[in-house]
Amino acid sequence: MQRRIVVPLVVVAVLSSLATVAATSIIGGGSPQAPTVAAQSVQPEPITTATVPDMVARVNPAVVQINATQTQQVSSPFSGFPGFGAPSTQSVGVLGSGFIITSNGEIVTNDHVVNNAHNIQVTVLGYQNPFPAKVLGEDYNLDLAVLQIQAPKPLPYLTFANPADTVAGEPVVAIGMPYGFSHTVTTGVVSALGRPLTIQSRTYRNLLQTDAAINPGNSGGPLLNYQGQVVGVNTAVSTQGQGIGFAIPSSDVTQALPALVKGQTPPEPWLGVSITDVSSAPQVPQGYTSQEGVIIEQVVSGGPAAKAGLQAGDIILSFNGQPTQTADQLIEDEVNTKVGQTVTLTIWRNGSTMTVNVVLGTMPASGS
């Protein structure tokens, strides 16, 4: 299988050189001034191409730039020599994006923007100086974090789209700070839903794919519908092609927010299997002739599927009565279910079909 190269969308610089980047991206000037938008959510408007510039003008004050300092391990060039090569640490500057979700200054961004970070600074349109921010909560698996800033006046904020209304082909707008170019606007469509992806040590199970141009520095910024509602959080981009970007869908964000704002880890539903499409499997169980369905490649010992009696080689045909045609579809169904909920799977095994009830567990932590 060809290896896909996908990277998170942060700009990282050795701390000594970050000032140069930051100097080109400070927003505003002169004496401090209050935001030009009153403390209210950005209200949706009917979808027409003519209103896109107006929508961008309305939402821009709620999109912010995030600068932070992260401590990262650095490998030694002498790591292959006995007695030498102990890893060291260095401070690096990180540039990302975010968006305000409450008038009192709660902000959504990616966890990889602020993970292991200190001196987090948030630049808000209309204010000369950035605000110091604290992390209210973060989740490594979901790659989401919520920050808090204290502004002198209530802030404009964005609202989330109904996830059921987000479909492939829907026009979208990405806003962020790629390479420090503040409030860069690009347009495209939702290319696909429910994309699973592994980037470094993070496994994403349910990403939106978009062809709206996004680049390093866009991490944590909003992907919006033409009404100005958030459909996703821009997160990663493929380096092997053009127009292949990924965002965390609004459904995952809104489910996680109640826990994140309290500093808790959001429970993430987990079936406990590794799967692949029947149509792309190197080997299909003898006697199965359809090209639809999902093969279980591995069952995690002690996980929910194992406890329910599922086995490697079983083919999942449906999830709660809905046909399961691809692994992407099964993953999307899984993440849109709640921890502790019992789901009914129809499976094919040794020439027969049967139903199995599985109580979804909590996804184990995959990062620090």
Are both 163 and 223 inside the same structural domain?
Answer: yes
Catalytic residue among 97, 191, 219, 250: 219
Please give the pLDDT value at position 331: 84
Please give the pLDDT value at position 75: 59
Q: Residue 87 is which amino acid?
A: P
Please give the pLDDT value at position 137: 95
Are both 185 and 103 inside the same structural domain?
Answer: yes
Do 273 and 305 form a contact (C-beta atoms < 8 A)? yes
Residue, of 4 and 27, whose pLDDT is higher: 4
Is pLDDT of 223 > 60? yes
Catalytic residue among 25, 97, 112, 191: 112
Q: What 8-state DSSP symbol labels residue 242? A: S
In a domain, 181, yes or no: yes
Catalytic residue among 143, 314, 328, 333: 143
Domain boundary, last residue among 201, 231, 260: 260
Provide the pLDDT confidence category of residue 37 given band limits of 50, 70 and 90. very low
What tens digit of pLDDT does each residue of 264-283 get? Answer: 888 788 899 999 999 888 88
Domain boundary, last residue among 260, 292, 319: 260
Are both 155 and 207 inside the same structural domain?
Answer: yes
Which helix (H) or strand (E) covers residue 209, if one does? strand 202-210
252 catalytic residue (yes or no): no
Domain count, the chain: 2
139 catalytic residue (yes or no): no
Residue, of 71 and 129, whose pLDDT is higher: 129
Do 244 and 4 form a contact (C-beta atoms < 8 A)? no
Are both 203 and 278 inside the same structural domain?
Answer: no
Weakest mean pLDDT among 120-124, 219-223, 300-304, 361-365: 361-365
Percent with pLDDT over 70 in the chain: 81
Residue, of 327 and 27, whose pLDDT is higher: 327
Provide the pLDDT confidence category of residue 342 given band limits of 50, 70 and 90. very high
Are both 212 and 298 inside the same structural domain?
Answer: no
Residue, of 364 and 278, whose pLDDT is higher: 278
* Rounded distance between C-alpha atoms, residue 93 and residue 65, angstroms: 13
Do 36 and 126 form a contact (C-beta atoms < 8 A)? yes
Are both 333 and 193 inside the same structural domain?
Answer: no
Weakest mean pLDDT among 33-42, 67-76, 83-92, 142-151: 33-42
Are both 96 and 176 inside the same structural domain?
Answer: yes
118 catalytic residue (yes or no): no
